[in-house]
Structure 1
Amino acid sequence: MERARPFGHSSNYGQACMHCYKAKCRCVPGPRGDSCERCHRLRKECLPSDSVRRRNAHRAEESNTRIAQLEGRIEIMLSAMQSIASSSGSSPEILRLLNENSVPLSTFGPNDTPANLIGTNQSISGVPTPGTDPSPLVQSPSEPFSHQAEESLEFFRSQMLPYFPFINLTPGITAWQLHQTRPFLLQAILTVTTFSSQKRLAQIEDLKRVLVTTAFLEVQSNIDLLLGLLTYIAWSTDAFLGRADLISRLMILAISLVYDMRLFKLPQPDTVIMMTMTQGQDYESDQNSNNETVTDLIEKQRAVLACFVLSSNISSHLGRIDALRWTPQMEEALRIVETNKLCLTDEVFAFHVRLQLLKQKAAHIREQNETDRARTAAVSVTTSMPGLLYLKALREQLHGLISSFPPGLLQRGE
């Protein structure tokens, strides 16, 4: 033993020998002080155990080593963040915060826990809070839009919109100008033109958050919300990633916006009276028909027709919703778009709508034929005579539509 202890009394706490410590027995010093009574009786070598202070000192050394390793890693991360912020042209405020918080972590005392370090350096990570998100959508008017936003808008205008041109985006419209008039549409464009999966998912969440706030909490119905929603539905990849339910629900929301804005169906007189009584205001006052220009009118007509095309496609391919019903007012809207041609792509868009209408009629004939066969339980799979005549008429309409395509349109393959 390290020192003599009084005979017949147990050892102090933390000074029992190794064997008594492991056996959890009382360690009583022997008469000579070189071993305890238990080790002498069992004829074992009485070895002193490490004191609690010695064990704690060993653990403290290990903790200091691990803390030093973590400090080194954090310093490396800070250096990398500073270099990225400098190369990406971040604002001086962000660079200042990074430089202020790049104090060597080894200067902190041993009592500074990770929680304290995080509390005093919470801006080190550089992740913006929702209130200070440096997104292009919340830039001040004096700051120009980022080059990335302009590139995304140009890519959408030149590479994506020609295949479904339901929006008139002239080459002179910049991202900032579009943000002033159609902020939600611009946010949808920036979302569908983001090809990084991680960034795209984050932007989708932001888009859905704005959509829920505007459509359900604030209960707004406007053309900007409708155009942005149709843009996301048209170029979304959710249907291919197991999120077809989201697309169908967003499509239902777009259809409800069309009905709320009464873009293709005039209200009945009794409906006007009832809504005026229940809402406490003029039912027609929110349409602003007197202040509406021809450009605004055709923009709404395109939105209605685009809603029909998308709902018809989703109905036929996903089978989760019913398509927007084709009405005489929609036929008139299509005629207005074809006649005025305020946009160079209006003719292409009109052909899109005509082809989708023929496709929907053909699908309706097939569904009706399948329903009739199931009702009669007929073994024959032949189509009824009225159905054949209807298909023949649709085929003639298709050939007539193809023959009316401009030569330049066929050469571009649009």
Structure 2
Amino acid sequence: MAPPDLTSPGGSSNSGGSPAGYGRSCTNCSRAKCKCILRAPGTSCERCHRLGKECNPIQATRKRVEKRYTSSRTAQLEEKLDDLVSILRSSQGGSIPHPRAAAHYPASTSSCEVPDNPNPQISRLDSLATAATASGPHAGYCSPSTSHNHPNYNANDAQSEPTPAEAEVYLQKFKAWLKNFPFMYISPDVTAHDLRRERPFLWLAIMTITTMSVPQMSVLKHRIRQEIAEIVVVRHEPSIDILQGVIAFLGWATMNSGPGWKPFLILFSQLAKSVTYELGLTRSPAEEQYFAICFKPWGGRHPQPKPRTLEERRALLSLWHITSMIASFIGKMDPLRWTLHMEESLETLEREKEHGQDEILATLVRIQLVTEEAHNLLVQDMMRSEESGQTPSWLHRKRLLDRLRAVRDGMTPSANASYVVQAQGYSAEVLVHSMGLFRPSMPEDQRVDAVYSCLRAVRSWYDIWFSVPLSETPSLPFHMYIQLSQTQIALYRVTTIDDPTWDKEIIRSTADLLVILDRTISRFEQMSSVYPMKTTGEDGTLFTKAAKIMKNIKASWEPELTQNLHGPPAPNSQQAAVGNSGGGSMGMAPGPAPATMPPGGPGMAAGGPAFVDPGSLDFTDLGWMTDVFGPWDFEKF
């Protein structure tokens, strides 16, 4: 059969017809799913004409779906906030400002702007949030993270805050304090307003430890507890701001002490450790990436590991240092575990030295590593019997002293000139020499050498302590007071040691503990005029309370000390050094305070009780020290 003639008059090629548009084909072509070619208007299509069928246009009309306009997430939130504002205005009698009126007063949930410095880029969403949370049109110079509608908010809190001018003074003071414990770097051009906007909790912690008003400090301390509970526990928002604020609060814990204040060292230390774990600072970014890939395969593509910043490394090392000191001070907690990433961070800090104070922080951490090992060996030695068969702690003495000597040899001039670094070095050696000192298994010749070396280290530490100018005493970090407690109990034990081969006159002429206590009491009493703080009638400052505590310690120890020194102290030991902040010694062997660590090596301390029977003193009883300079039981004095 011959193929049809495609050029016939019925073909589409010569008809000059046009294809029907979408939805205009006839019923037959639509059912047959053929292309519908229209001929002249009003006539049938080519296919129906060729087949002799009736050509009817399709009756179905296109169903048009109504176009939906999806609102953005921001618009939905704005609508919800509009509803909240309406509810709040109706429930509070119109005290909530209208959202459009509130837009003139910028505010945010993380910082509080000063009204005379508006932010022109604030969004309407922020304005609505302000209207929903503020109780008035002006937020003023308010708490950076506490709104007026917060259930724990007190109207007196805003009045208890330092003024902007006072905040600037306090921040400059804190910048000067950082040289003694440089856990962070604050640029000289950063103002208190800038810090409050960027790091509100850190700002609050700094204001608390630097304020010159005890009543104001009490309110701010309560705010600190509220803020950290709300942010870390309730909202679970860990950040470097929270971590640095807690480190600052713990680093100068003595400045936060006062009557009626609840213990916070263990609680805040554990919260800071929790924040560190949440931020992943204890592990290297590569290790974090490994755990994310191996144990979370369902998470899709994992983000690339972020390089660790020096700011994060400083915070991590500083937290380890302070938790290590507090753990040895209280004896009820463990420090942050030292990891390979911490060692890497320490080496990075020593190598890069972005700021001059990094050298001081690195040296403090290096010395504390030796101190922590010596402390652990001392505690283990005291917890086991002589017949246990384990290696005595005093056999590690030479190795630890070599490590201290290596740290000293590698110290930079800036670190060597820091009295905080020197004091920690001598404190470390006191503890190293104390290992096995009171165990019968230690050979007699080594015991005599250890006692005298410990005594020299104690003397060197007190030379540093009394060489610190009175005006700089408030800037001393908390671990300096821990060393003071540990060093004085080490001197007590050396003084009262029952050894007929040991000449007590050497102790009295080198470091007389009674006169040292007198000098320390006098030093704290003078602080009222050097660092005057505003107090109420019944509240005293840290230093007046510390003077009372030291007097109680002296009264408790004096009978035993006098008996062991065979009578009253030497005449020169009966004088108290008043008004002398230099390195001269009363009741000590004459000589100036060392400007740097001598070649003989650094020196270090161990702990014991304060308000107990002197005959029951024990290095393992570390809880006694919480009654010396910490914020624990001041109200009993």
Aligned AA for 2:325? N
Give the CA deviation at 1:304: 0.7
Given the alignment, which residue of 389, 403, 410 partners 1:397? 403
Give the CA deviation at 1:348: 0.6
State the TM-score, normalizing by the size of structure 2.
Answer: 0.38
Match in the other structure for 1:331: 343
- Summarize the alignment of residues 25-104 of structure 1 with structure 2, pairs less than 5 Å apart: none
Decide whether aligned partners of structure 1 residues 390 and 289 sit closer, same or farther in structure 2, where only a CA change above 3 A counts. same
Match in the other structure for 2:197: 180
Given the alignment, which residue of 258, 262, 269 partners 1:251? 269
Match in the other structure for 1:224: 241
The structure with more helix, counted as a fraction of residues: 1
Decide whether aligned partners of structure 1 residues 235 and 134 sit closer, same or farther in structure 2, where only a CA change above 3 A counts. farther
CA contact (8 A) 2:239 2:279 kept: yes
Tell me, yes or no, if structure 1 residue 341 matches structure 2 residue 358: no
CA contact (8 A) 1:309 1:353 kept: yes
Aligned AA for 1:316? S
- Summarize the alignment of residues 11-410 of structure 1 with structure 2, pairs less than 5 Å apart: 134-135=140-141, 137-138=143-144, 146-158=164-176, 160-237=177-254, 245-265=263-283, 266-267=287-288, 269=290, 274=295, 285=303, 289-290=305-306, 297-373=309-385, 376=388, 387-410=393-416
Distance between the aligned counterparts of 1:372 and 1:241, measured in 2?
39
Aligned AA for 2:347? R
Q: Deviations over 1:109-153 (max 9, x none)?
A: xxxxxxxxxxxxxxxxxxx989977545459xxxxx811111110
Match in the other structure for 1:63: none
CA contact (8 A) 1:136 1:146 kept: no
Distance between the aligned counterparts of 1:232 and 1:250, measured in 2?
9
Give the CA deviation at 1:197: 1.5
Identity of aligned residues (%): 26
Distance between the aligned counterparts of 2:404 and 2:173, measured in 1?
32
Q: Deviations over 1:56-93 (max 9, x none)?
A: xxxxxxxxxxxxxxxxxxxxxxxxxxxxxxxxxxx99x
Aligned AA for 1:235? W
Give the CA deviation at 1:271: 6.2
Match in the other structure for 1:413: 419
Give the CA deviation at 1:391: 2.0
Q: Determine helix, strand or coil for the equivalent of 1:352.
A: helix
Aligned AA for 1:393? R
Distance between the aligned counterparts of 1:222 and 1:153, measured in 2?
21
CA contact (8 A) 2:367 2:404 kept: yes
Give the CA deviation at 1:270: 5.6
Match in the other structure for 1:69: none
Structure 1, unaligned stretches of length 5 or more?
Answer: 1-90, 93-127, 140-144, 379-383
CA contact (8 A) 2:363 2:415 kept: no
What is the aligned residue count?
A: 268
Q: Deviations over 1:223-248 (max 9, x none)?
A: 11111111111112356757574221
Distance between the aligned counterparts of 1:347 and 1:219, measured in 2?
34
Distance between the aligned counterparts of 2:384 and 2:292, measured in 1?
37
Distance between the aligned counterparts of 2:301 and 2:227, measured in 1?
27
Decide whether aligned partners of structure 1 residues 138 and 375 sit closer, same or farther in structure 2, where only a CA change above 3 A counts. same
Q: Deviations over 1:293-315 (max 9, x none)?
A: xxx61110111111111111110
Give the CA deviation at 1:276: 6.7
CA contact (8 A) 2:206 2:245 kept: yes
CA contact (8 A) 1:184 1:225 kept: yes
Decide whether aligned partners of structure 1 residues 393 and 254 sit closer, same or farther in structure 2, where only a CA change above 3 A counts. same
Distance between the aligned counterparts of 1:244 and 1:282, measured in 2?
46
Q: Deviations over 1:304-350 (max 9, x none)?
A: 11111111111000112101111111111100111111111000110
Decide whether aligned partners of structure 1 residues 138 and 218 sit closer, same or farther in structure 2, where only a CA change above 3 A counts. closer
Decide whether aligned partners of structure 1 residues 249 and 408 sit closer, same or farther in structure 2, where only a CA change above 3 A counts. closer
Distance between the aligned counterparts of 2:326 and 2:199, measured in 1?
25
CA contact (8 A) 1:189 1:231 kept: yes
Distance between the aligned counterparts of 2:188 and 2:327, measured in 1?
34
Decide whether aligned partners of structure 1 residues 361 and 129 sit closer, same or farther in structure 2, where only a CA change above 3 A counts. farther
Distance between the aligned counterparts of 1:240 and 1:283, measured in 2?
52
Distance between the aligned counterparts of 1:187 and 1:282, measured in 2?
40
Structure 2, unaligned stretches of length 5 or more?
Answer: 1-113, 116-133, 146-162, 421-637
State the TM-score, normalizing by the size of structure 1.
Answer: 0.58
Q: CA RMSD in A?
A: 3.2
Aligned AA for 1:156? F
Aligned AA for 1:323? P
Give the CA deviation at 1:180: 2.8
Q: Determine helix, strand or coil for the equivalent of 1:313.
A: helix
Distance between the aligned counterparts of 1:199 and 1:309, measured in 2?
29
CA contact (8 A) 2:370 2:404 kept: yes
CA contact (8 A) 1:175 1:186 kept: yes
Q: Deviations over 1:350-378 (max 9, x none)?
A: 011111111101011112212332784x9
Decide whether aligned partners of structure 1 residues 198 and 357 sit closer, same or farther in structure 2, where only a CA change above 3 A counts. same
Aligned AA for 2:272? A
Decide whether aligned partners of structure 1 residues 220 and 406 sit closer, same or farther in structure 2, where only a CA change above 3 A counts. same
CA contact (8 A) 1:308 1:326 kept: yes
Distance between the aligned counterparts of 1:253 and 1:327, measured in 2?
19
CA contact (8 A) 1:136 1:149 kept: no
- Decide which moves more: 384-393 or 304-313: 384-393
Aligned AA for 2:280? R
CA contact (8 A) 2:359 2:414 kept: no
CA contact (8 A) 1:229 1:250 kept: yes
Distance between the aligned counterparts of 1:393 and 1:244, measured in 2?
41
Decide whether aligned partners of structure 1 residues 273 and 231 sit closer, same or farther in structure 2, where only a CA change above 3 A counts. same
Q: Deviations over 1:24-79 (max 9, x none)?
A: xxxxxxxxxxxxxxxxxxxxxxxxxxxxxxxxxxxxxxxxxxxxxxxxxxxxxxxx
